[in-house]
Amino acid sequence: MCGIAGFIHFERDNGRPEWAAIAHSMGETLHHRGPDDRGEWTCPAGALVHRRLAVIDPDRGRQPMTRSQEGQDYVIVYNGELYNTGALRRDLEGRGHAFETASDTEVLLAAYLEYGEAVGTRLEGIYAFVIWDGARKQFFACRDRFGVKPFFYAWADDGAFVFGSELKALFAYPGLTPRVDAAGWCEVLGIGPARTAGVGVFAGVEELRPAHQMVIGPAGARQERYWSLVSRPHADSYEDTVLRVRELVTGAVTRQLVSDVPLCTFLSGGLDSSVITAVAARDYQRRGLPALETYSFDYVDNQKYFRPSSFQPDADWPWVDRMVEAFHTRHTVLTCPIPDLAALLDQAMRAKDLPGMADVDASLLYFCRQVAQKHVVALSGECADEVFGGYPWFERPEMLHAPTFPWSRDLDARREVFDPRLWKRLGVEDYVQYRYAQSVAQTPRLEGEDPENARRREVAWLNLNWFMSTLLDRKDRMSMWSGLEVRVPFCDHHLVEYVWNIPWCMKAMNGRRKQVLRDAAEGLLPEDVRTRPKSPYPKTHNPLYEELVRARVAEILADPAAPLHALVDENALRAGMLVSAGDYGRPWFGQLMAGPQMLAYLVQLNAWMVRFGLTV
């Protein structure tokens, strides 16, 4: 895993002397993504920049990587990991290609030489890359099917196409100034911490959408989708479906265990992380490797303050112990101190360049930092709920049929916090509904599907394209800020393609969400772990956290220069959240973000405005 950046400027035939310095500055903003190495390449049409976190062939996989064919140079910068490197390499060797390294970067570049703009359809993995095509005198950019790896871009005033793995890299280019327009504020206030696919929030900044590719040449840029989900009838019996799901999950995990550096898994004791850990541990045993290392996460005094709820019915630690006992993993429990959790809110924002999932981000940042002290690669159970329909909004009628995003269907909590005049002037609610309707209209339909299942397909589409993207954004930024690569086997596109068309009556066999995955795990997991009710990512129940973030918000409001004043209804805040304890009702985003997380979101909003000099 790495960071990439660069700029393309065809209007300057011979380049400019300052380009090397600009490229260097852009690369420095991504140092955390690639602490092992750096590289820059310039040509008359622009520059490519790379920061490297070495995972495969550390000694010979340096980038930018150049290969020549028929007298023309082809140069690549690449962030990601290919999981079909071996098969792709054998195919290319059969077509006459020879390789100098064991790196997937060289295989990817050779695949482009062989297949050209059709290369994306040949790839399995997580990636964002740019290739200079010396024969066609153009650049080719491509992003993985679900956007696990980021890619932002903007057009500078001088005509340059500027790109980077993170937003901060773009603003290192001269003349690109961070600014937020009305649409951007609607994203942050009404949709955040989610974000519309393709939207970079900052004015003029866009995102290469998942499963899309782009060609940038002297005549401009063109973009196209190279992969799509297709809805079709599911012909397999339930028994065959269970077997196929097990085969696909096992294959995805096994392929993602390839690494030349230390690897571990995240283990919460829930179904998803336990499946990944079980498959990985068995693979390690089969290959005669040392015991798999696993990590679980908790907060100081959480056992003391934990209270079950409909969203979080039980705590993780007994189930983690059960898995460690069953698979003999070398396990470490990481415990986050509450003051550290509150203090990391600003850094979590800096990692993302946007306000995010508050303490959900900050805690992941803390844990990734600890894991990165011993490991470079981790596997996570993220995204199984989006793929298999594990959330309550797939079945609770009031959530399933809400004519808006089901994870934030009630905007009251936001409306009560933000300045009502600003809220109305920006048209936040109209913007949210526009984005919702736009997304639902893109759902791949299945002809003849009954209304109830057609609606579930819409919700599944929203989950894959919105909620899952939010979690993947969070996972990438927090882990890469720490120098840790996190892989997500449940985002394997073969698995997603198959599960997308499994009917709900099978996904939730006998009325239980994700039952098809539970049945696929029969004989793989301890029975009590396999049948454990869903519990989300752990959050702190310690009242100290709320006290700390409430004090932070009060401190911000006491500063007359704080930019947050322009966004919030201070009277409502002082009469409500700043005086009363508790979660203030149901979550306003997802299953975890309630009152304390709204306060933390405000802390991040203020820090974001300060960092980028933003006004509204």
Q: What is the pLDDT of residues 218-238, one digit of tens each?
A: 999 999 999 999 999 999 999
For residue 230, is it within any domain? no
Interior/surface letters 369-384, b for 16+ CB within 10 angstroms, e for the rest: bbbbeebbbbbbbbbb
What pLDDT is recorded for position 575?
87
For residue 538, is it within any domain? no
DSSP 328-349: T-EEEEEEE-HHHHHHTHHHHH
Q: To the nearest whole percent, how much of the chain has pLDDT over 90?
A: 86
- State the binding site: 104, 380-381
Query: Mean pLDDT throughout 338-360?
Result: 97
Among 1-5, 48-52, 249-253, 302-306, the least confident range: 302-306
Among 2-16, 192-206, 329-343, the least confident range: 2-16
**80 contacts 144 by C-beta, under 8 angstroms:** yes
Q: Is the pLDDT of residue 57 over 70?
A: no
Q: Does residue 505 sit in the same domain as residue 559?
A: no
Neighbours of 2 (CB within 10 A): 30
For residue 232, is it within any domain? no
Q: Does residue 201 sit in the same domain as residue 319?
A: no
Q: Is the pLDDT of residue 61 over 70?
A: yes
Q: Is the pLDDT of residue 513 over 70?
A: yes
Q: Is the pLDDT of residue 520 over 90?
A: yes
For residue 535, is it within any domain? no
E strand spans, 308-465: 330-336, 377-379
Which CATH number does the domain housing residue 207 bear? 3.60.20.10
Name the nearest CA neighbour of 119 among 69, 76, 151, 153.
76
Query: Mean pLDDT throughout 514-528?
Result: 97
Q: Does residue 517 sit in the same domain as residue 576?
A: no
Q: Is the pLDDT of residue 11 over 70?
A: yes
Q: Is the pLDDT of residue 306 over 90?
A: no
Domain boundary among 530, 555, 577: 530
- State the binding site for ATP: 380-381
What pLDDT is recorded for position 53?
77
Q: Does residue 520 sit in the same domain as residue 602?
A: no
Q: Does residue 427 sit in the same domain as residue 498?
A: yes
For residue 556, is it within any domain? yes
What pLDDT is recorded for position 310?
58
Give 259's pLDDT tier (boundaries 50, 70, 90): confident
Q: Is the pLDDT of residue 12 over 70?
A: no
Q: Does residue 410 sit in the same domain as residue 366?
A: yes
Q: How many domains does the chain have?
A: 3
Name the nearest CA neighbour of 90 among 122, 55, 50, 129.
122
Give 188's pLDDT tier (boundaries 50, 70, 90): very high
Torsional class of 138: left (φ above 0), alpha (ψ -120 to 50), beta (otherwise): beta
Give 58's pLDDT tier (boundaries 50, 70, 90): low
Q: What is the pLDDT of residues 358-411, one digit of tens each?
A: 999 999 999 999 999 999 999 999 999 999 999 999 999 999 999 999 999 989
Domain range enclosing 557: 543-612
Give 156's pLDDT tier (boundaries 50, 70, 90): very high
Q: Does residue 195 sit in the same domain as residue 72?
A: yes
Q: What is the pLDDT of residues 410-437, one digit of tens each?
A: 899 899 999 999 999 999 999 999 999 9
Domain boundary among 505, 530, 555: 530
For residue 38, is it within any domain? yes
Query: Mean pLDDT throughout 267-288?
Result: 97
- State the binding site for L-glutamine: 104
What pLDDT is recorded for position 246?
99
Q: Is the pLDDT of residue 186 over 80?
A: yes
Catalytic status, residue 2: yes
Query: Mean pLDDT throughout 343-348?
Result: 98
For residue 231, is it within any domain? no
541 vs 588, more confident: 588
Neighbours of 570 (CB within 10 A): 13
What pLDDT is recorded for position 592?
80
Query: Mean pLDDT throughout 470-489?
Result: 96
Among 112-121, 407-416, 426-435, 560-569, the least confident range: 407-416
Name the nearest CA neighbour of 47 among 162, 188, 181, 185.
162
Query: Mean pLDDT throughout 87-97?
Result: 97
pTM of this structure: 0.96
DSSP assignment letter at 395: T
Domain boundary among 481, 500, 530: 530
Q: Does residue 345 sit in the same domain as residue 491?
A: yes
Q: Does residue 333 sit in the same domain as residue 252?
A: yes
- Report residue 391 as tokens: 């959330």
Q: Is the pLDDT of residue 444 over 80?
A: yes
Query: Mean pLDDT throughout 302-311?
Result: 68
Rounded CA Rg of the chain: 24
What pLDDT is recorded for position 577?
83
For residue 537, is it within any domain? no
What pLDDT is recorded for position 35?
82
Query: Mean pLDDT throughout 93-121?
Result: 97
- Report residue 473 as tokens: 């954004």
Q: Which of 2, 142, 368, 383 is catalytic?
A: 2
416 vs 310, more confident: 416
Please, which residues have CB within 8 angstroms of residue 511's CB and are 6 or more apart in sequence?
none
Interior/surface letters 469-499, b for 16+ CB within 10 angstroms, e for the rest: bbbbbbbbbbbbbbbbbbbbbbbbbebbbbb
Q: Does residue 343 sit in the same domain as residue 260?
A: yes
Measured distance between the N- and C-terminal CA atoms of the chain, rounded to whole angstroms: 36
What pLDDT is recorded for position 307?
65
Which CATH number does the domain housing residue 292 bear? 3.40.50.620
Q: Does residue 274 sit in the same domain as residue 198?
A: no
Query: Mean pLDDT throughout 115-144?
Result: 98
Q: Does residue 180 sit in the same domain as residue 314?
A: no
Among 60-69, 98-107, 162-171, 368-377, the least confident range: 60-69
Q: Is the pLDDT of residue 297 over 70?
A: yes
Among 61-65, 258-262, 348-352, the least confident range: 258-262
Q: Is the pLDDT of residue 583 over 60?
A: no
Alpha helices in 12-136 (DSSP H): 19-28, 85-94, 104-115
Among 134-148, 161-175, 565-579, the least confident range: 565-579
- 477 beta partners: none
- Report residue 309 as tokens: 């709820």
Share the mean pLDDT of the chain.
94
